[in-house]
Structure 1
Amino acid sequence: MINCIIVDDEPLAATLLENHISKIDHLKLVGKAENAMEAYKLLQNQTVDLMFLDIQMPHFNGIDFLRSLSQKPRTIFTTAYREFAIEGFELEAVDYILKPITFERFFKAVERVLRNIADTKDNFIILKTDGMHRKIHLTDIIYIESQGNDIKVTLSTQESFIAKSKIIDMESALATKGFLRIHRSFIMNIEYVTAFNTNEILLGNHKIPVGRSYKQEFDNFVNKVSKNKLL
């Protein structure tokens, strides 16, 4: 699922984009903004993968707004003006669509986004912490611990921080990336395992328990390690 927002001060154009988005299962609209300041607030409060951004807006145009962002989501410019195309692509926009936007042209742009995501190596995640969206390389994560509706992430630098996410969402996102959930409260990076028994796992100096309901997953992990690694 790709979380997206619409940034456009024209109600009819925004409604048309919303209708197009509703027809594509991979897209989820998480917010709309009529100007750059509203858009900035959305980016602070939502995980945004894709932004449909108008260029001609009051006070602060879309080009300058995107240029001002330190963390830029994938962006598709939506505008009635051709003359900004070069600037748009210089900012690494995924696409540049001229209004009025047909569904066929919209779908082609979204396909480009999907290809872009597929071609990008998923070796990092973006987590929201302390009002910021933080890029974390997966190889730096030792383990993740549930903290109610939040998670605690422990890194190889021995730093840890609290992020706005649920452990079940992290389990789904990391399942094929070398991580294993072995307790209702813990997900581990298997590359950091240094020792284990039937009840607990050591990740360097960190010890985490094996939950009873996760014994099968743990046994599968042990069997795989024993078959391929142990002498």
Structure 2
Amino acid sequence: MINCIIVDDEPLAMSLLENHISKIDDLKLVGKAQNAMQAYKTLQNQTVDLMFLDIQMPHLNGIDFLKSLPQKPRTIFTTAYRDFAIEGFELEAVDYLLKPITFERFFKSVERIMRTTAAHTEDFILVKTEGMHRKLTLSEIVYFESQGNDIKIVLITNEIFISKSKITDLEQTLSSKSFVRIHRSFIINSAFVTAFNNNEIVVNNHKIPVGRSYKKEFEALISSVSRNKLL
């Protein structure tokens, strides 16, 4: 069962979504809110898996409301405006539905969530590269390399993407994943380690230097790799 809430200041739009939800057995409507403040109270008092969130609302719009949440439920934006689509996906929204929302389009969006709820969803990051916002699955990334104000991203396929980002921001985002920073310019995916010595490490045939100030992280990585018999 997927607990969901509707956040929308338009009664007709809310009623339509409520009707759509009622047709799907796996969805349970646990709350409705006409503005961000009401929605915040619901999120504090209820376990919410999915939020249908309007964008143009009084006092605080949906984009800013979602940004303000420390713990974000999966979110489907529901709006009459196309202008916020890119910003919505930058917040890792599941989908962006344009009003009036047909049941067919609604079901297509929700079915994706039901499918990923039943099966493990791989972690991913969203990066802006070559004028596009691209979704990259973490398990396909071999390493990140800082290049001035850019980050080079190398995939297992040897594809390379360049994105505007800071390696320190990436390090924080990936800290709980299988990625380790072993140099001021490099973060590697430990799953691809195949060889190493005291000065460098090989990931998927790429030789990466080990920075002097990252010896502790390097030693912890090698200990973990050896313990799990990856080498």
- TM-score, normalization by structure 1: 0.58
After TM superposition, the runs of 4+ consecutive aligned structure 1 residues lying more than 6 A away are none
Which runs of structure 2 are paired with 1:85-124 in the superposition (5 Å)? Answer: 86-87=103-104, 89-92=106-109, 121-124=121-124
Contact 2:152-2:161 at 8 Å conserved across structures: yes
Aligned equivalent of 2:84: 39
1:180 aligns with 2:180: yes
> 1:221 is aligned with what amino acid?
L
**TM-superposition CA deviations, 1:147-177 (whole Å, max 9, x none):** 2232100111112110122212222222222
Q: How does 1:57-206 map to 2 (within 5 A)?
A: 73-75=94-96, 84=101, 86-87=103-104, 89-92=106-109, 121-206=121-206
Counterpart of 2:90 in structure 1: which amino acid? Answer: T
Q: CA deviation at 1:22?
A: 8.2
Q: Are the counterparts in 2 of residues 124 and 137 from structure 1 also a CA contact under 8 Å? A: yes
List runs of 5+ in structure 2 lacking aligned partners: 1-52, 73-78
Paired residue type of 1:159: E
CA distance in 2, matches of 1:35, 1:93: 19
Partner amino acid, structure 1, of 2:92: D
Q: Distance in 2 between matches of 1:47 and 1:24?
A: 15
Moved more, 172-181 or 120-129: 120-129
CA distance in 2: counterparts of 1:178 and 1:41, whole angstroms: 28
Aligned length: 174
Distance 1:179 1:193 in 2: 11
Asked if 2 retains the 8 angstrom alpha-carbon contact of 1:193 and 1:202, the reply is yes
Say if 1:15 and 1:93 are closer, same or farther in 2 by CA, change over 3 A. farther
Q: Distance in 2 between matches of 1:143 and 1:23?
A: 30
User: What amino acid is the match of 2:125?
Assistant: I
**Aligned AA for 1:143?**
Y
Shift in alpha-carbon separation, 1:227–1:38, aligned structure 2, 3 A: closer
Identity percentage of aligned residues:
43
TM-score, length-scaled by structure 2: 0.58
> How large is the RMSD of aligned CA atoms in angstroms?
4.0
* Larger mean Cα displacement after TM superposition, 123-132 or 178-187: 123-132
Q: Structure 1 residues 87 and 124, CA, compared in 2 at 3 Å: closer, same or farther?
A: same
| Displacement after TM superposition at 1:136 (Å) | 1.4
